[in-house]
Structures are given as C-alpha cells and as structure tokens.
Structure 1
Amino acid sequence: MRPAPARRFLRTVDGVTVDAAYEPGTRASDISGDTAIVVAHGFTGDLERPHVRRAASAFAQYAAVVTFSFRGHGASGGRSTVGDREVLDLAAAVRWARELGHTRIATVGFSMGGSVALRHAALHPAAPKGRAGREWHEWPEGSQEHEGLAGAHTDAVVSVSAPARWYYRGTAPMRRLHWLVTRPAGRAVSRYGLRTRIHHRGWDPVPSSPVESVPLIAPTPLLVVHGDRDGYFPLDHPRMLAAAAGEHGELWLERGMGHAENAADDELLARIGEWAARHAG
C-alpha cells in the first residue's frame, strides 16, 4: 500500500527547517513501482509556485513525487546560500522519500536546483565506496555535513538549465542575479519582492562547481537538459557538463526552450519524468 499525500517540515543536518510535500504517483504502472522523484526548484522558487506544481503533476504520472522549498525560500527557514548548503536540503528530501518506503530515487533539479542536484549526486553517489577507483567528498568524513548525507544517495539525476561554472556574468539576467545576491539593496529586493531571503556572507570556501562535480557522479545515470534559447546560460554550459559526464551522461538540447521550469512544456516534462523513473531502476 502506498503512503498517502503528506506535508511536513524536514530538518537538515545543520538545523534548517525545510517545507516539503509528498504525492503518490497518479497511476499504477510497472515504471513507477517503488520509485520517487525529488524535485529541486530554481532560485526564487518554492514548492507552491505554479511552475513547480506543474512539473510535479507531470512527474506524478511516472512515480511518486517529493517537492520542497530550499532554505530561504517560501515557508522554509534559514537563508539561501545560492547553491552551496542547499545540498543538505536536497539530502533531507531524499532521505524522507526513502523513509516513506521508496527504494529508487531520482532527483530532478532546475537552474540553481540543477546545480544542487549535480553536487548532491557527486557528494554521495549510489556506487559503493571505491567504485571506479576513487572516493570523494566535499565535506570530510565524520563531519556533520558528511553524516547528513548518509542514506541520501540518488539513483538517477536530471539537471535542467543548470550552470556549468560559478560566477558567470555573461548575460544580463545573470548580472541582475549577482546584484541581488551581492548587494544589500539587492538582497532587500529579493526578500520583499521575490520572497527569497539571501545570506549576506559569501562562499567560504567556494563549493565545487557543477562541472567539477559531474565526473564524480558516475556510474549513476545523468541527464542534462538545456534550451537553445536560455537567456541565463548559453549552450557552452550544458556542453561542458555533458563532456565532463562522458559515456555516463546524456544531453538533450531543446529547440526553442528558454530557462528552467517556466520554459519546460508539458511534453518535455513528461519525457523527463519517464527518463527519471526508468533510469532510477
């Protein structure tokens, strides 16, 4: 018997409360089984936003779905670190999905959430330690952060409209975003106009970038999705990610698509949901 729909506050290993919701799959099929898809939204989003709900509804055709609001967003506590400690938020959501009885988990992230999904998968891959001749963790073994990733591994990863590298300012939208994050006036606009609370401290240390993280995800299946009209990150970003993934990654360049959840149409969301559910098995 599948769990009923649920809404609860999760607690991350560093003590932040994260607003999360669970929805069982909407149809019984061989592809859904015991799989859950965990959705990581983009910067300034939250689980109540219409575009996040639309994505969740599309994915629910193929698996159960967990949505959540990153720290500093919506009803979650804390302040946004714009892709750094958000890895712990995603880890808490994945652990909850496993606590609900799902043994196969796919993570699907959009924009900032896409970079978080990549870093999360690299920090705690599903492969046993020593697989592919290496073991890597951004946080040292025995640390609070490292322990918080226990049981939070993913079995498939989808990154949509994510950057490959940090501090990119090559487009007007990204220059505006950097103003929001780095200036007191920008953080005030974000807090009161966009319902997103941003931490005033910069990264120290700088977290590993998405493109540095991608090679460490293998052999977990990885899908990189990007629109050829993305106004934030041009096509060299997904191509860098795909090249770093090698034979363990798949790249979809979507004709006419813009940026992240708002630009993903229902047909694309259905294809992503089907891919995620199939490859998580």
Structure 2
Amino acid sequence: MKKKPLYIFVGVVALIAIISLCYISYHAGEGSKTDFPKDTAVLKEAVVQPLKKDTVYVNPEVPKSVYHWTPSVQDFTLADAEQLTKSIYDTVTVEKQGDMEVDTVGREFSNIVFFSADDVLHAIVVVENRGPFYGVSVGWCDVFAFVKGKSGWQLCDFMLGAGGGGMYGNPGEFQRLELIGNQTVGIILSGGQEHMGGNYHENVIGLNKGTLRRITTINTHHDYGSGAGDEFKTTVCDENEFKFIPNGREMYDLKITRFNCLEDKNRKVKEIVIPYLNGYKIPDAFVFEG
C-alpha cells in the first residue's frame, strides 16, 4: 500500500509525455503545408462591395431604379460560385510552372460583388490565379457574371484571363465596379510589374445585358530610377487618373489626366476626353513605356 503514490506519479508522467508527443506531431504537420493548392481552389471570405453612389447616380438620364446597390445577398456565396463554375475549370489545363512540386498555379475565388438592375440581382465573381513566387511572371484574374432568375442563380457569361497579372506570380486584383455606360457596368481589375521600376495598369471589362467584353486597358503608374541602396534615385515617375463621364450617349466618355509624380509634386501634365467609338483610342502620350 505504501508504494501506491509512486505508481500514480509514474502514470501521470507517462500521460504528460503522450500529450506532448501528440502536440509536437500536430504542429509539425501544420508546418509542412504549402501555400499553393494542388487539387482544390481556395475560397476567401465573401467580400460584398456594392456600387458606389457617385458612380451610379451621376447620370441624370438613368432612372434611379435601374442600378442600385444591395447591402448583402445571403443566398449566393463564393462556394456556390465555385460549384457553378466547376464544369468550366474541369476543362482548363494549367501547365506546371518550374520543377518543384509546389510550383503549381493556385486558384482562389477571391471576390463576389452584387448589384441590381431593373430589380434583377446580378453577381460578379473574380477568381485569382497565382503562379510561383519566383521565375516567370505568371498570374491573372478570371471574371464570371451571374444573374438570379426564377429558378435561382445562373451563370450568364465568363472571361478567363480577363486581366490583372504581375511579378512573382501575382494575379492582380479586383478594384471596383462602376457604370461606364447607360446599360454597361465596368469591372475594374488592376495589375503590374516591378523590375528596375514599376509599371501598373487597370483593365476595364464591360458587362452589358449579361455579356462580358473587353473595353480598354489604362496605364496608371510608371516609375524608373538608377543607383542602388541609399544611392537609388527615381528619375521617371508618371501617373494617369481616369474616370467615365456621362455624355447622353450609350457609352460614357473616358477622361484621362496625366501627372508627373517626381518628388511627390503630382504636377498635372495633360488631359484628354476620349469618346467611345468601338473602343477607346488612347493616345501614345497617355501610354507609359515599360
């Protein structure tokens, strides 16, 4: 009977050792995970971004009931969008990038945004395709357009490789929705490159009556410099700001303003208003060289 406390003590020590081994094994498994999915897509938390007021009501010729924002939609999520697009992605083959097992292109359902037109709900889903961190610049965004009908949400159109893109596999990202015509919603994607300087752009994809089409690409920033470390000095810096202006016609005018951004002066250089004539013909003065 006197040895009983010793048995209890040994049992407690053994139990603690087993728990410690389980804890170490679990966290070792967690640390071995990679950032790039191989077989399944990643779903970000749904980002609900309604149309901004100043881009909806700016045209007095468009009745307020035609386009308006919706604060939230509960019956359609990124997971639902992934299911409705599975048959499309099942037919898409993405070549392996690099020699390492983790050098695959990861697909991420990143953004879902809603708007209402003539009391019909629409959803735009952006899917980011991210390449390896190093090596060639592989990355892009896909766009899917959905509409809510009597039988539920349906895919009405999609565009693979719609825009975005960047260095080190960066896919670019969704920026915003805005009206670019009386019946056309603009989907704005951004992307860019960095190598001995920066070159950034925004792609405008139009959605009209359930159909997606490429509208234009606008250079938004370019900089270049020389030297290294503390000796580096920016010698070139240009920026474009743009907006779409109602004009009484079906498609809005595109206004671009160019600035010189050296030393944060943001000096206005020139400005132009471009009408839509089967596209926007942007002059070379507003196109930045890489």
Shorter-chain TM-score range: under 0.3
The structure in which a higher percent of residues are strand is 2
TM-score after normalising by structure 2: 0.27
TM-score after normalising by structure 1: 0.28
